[in-house]
Amino acid sequence: MIFKILGADGITIHPRPDERHIRFQDVYDLKKVLLTEYNIEGYPSLEFMKLVDEVRPGQVTLVPDPPGVLTSNAGWDMISQGAFLKDVVSYFKSIHCRVSLFVDPSPLMVEAASYTGTDRIELYTEVYASGFDQDPSEAVRSYIEAAQKASEVGLGINAGHDLNLQNLAYFKRMVPTS
């Protein structure tokens, strides 16, 4: 309840196998008190899929960081992983979860994501954040192109990784979301 009281539209958690960010029990406990959007992100291992099936969040975001990988440092390769993701997306949609796929800011990857049946994409923004101080307009260019492609193919857009108070407003102003 507290998140809505404080003005948050939602919460995203990323339970990892080593529980370094959040414990699995926390995932269940949060479900009991949230009045806002609940987004669980992670790699679609059998354990993760079981967790999402039991909790049934409003959204599940699939990231390409299998167990043993420290963090997400790139989006899905939609060309080589598209068939696998199509099956996973179909499963999550069958249990009434909106699905988002973590992708790099590439129109090719965005278009390929649309063939999986996903509802949204999450643009991996570390490259934008790293280039923002040197040349904001160049840093955001590929994100604008990817967002335009997402709009063309009917996908919603999220963004995440290294966005902060210095670079977020510019990103929001420049990147179309519909």
The candidate with the shortest Cα–Cα distance to 171, out of 105, 111, 121, is 105
Question: 133: helix, coil or strand?
Answer: coil
The domain tally of the chain equals 1
Cβ neighbors of 15 (< 8 A, separation 6 or more) are 21, 22, 23, 24, 26, 27, 40, 42, 48, 51
Tens digits of residue pLDDT in 74-132: 899 999 999 999 999 999 999 999 999 999 999 999 999 999 999 999 999 999 999 99
Residue 4 maps to a domain? no
Residue 30 maps to a domain? no
Domain that holds residue 44: 39-174
Residues annotated as catalytic (active site), given as ranges: 14, 41, 161
Tens digits of residue pLDDT in 2-50: 555 566 788 888 898 888 889 999 999 999 988 889 999 999 999 999 9
Considering the entire predicted model, what is its pTM?
A: 0.91
Distance, in Å, from the CA atom of 127 to the CA atom of 150, rounded to the nearest integer, reads 19
Q: What is the pLDDT of residue 16?
A: 84
Q: What is the pLDDT of residue 177?
A: 80
Residue 60 maps to a domain? yes
Q: What is the pLDDT of residue 1?
A: 47
Residue 96 maps to a domain? yes
Residue 6 maps to a domain? no
Residue 99 maps to a domain? yes
Q: What is the pLDDT of residue 4?
A: 54
CATH code of the domain containing 129: 3.20.20.70
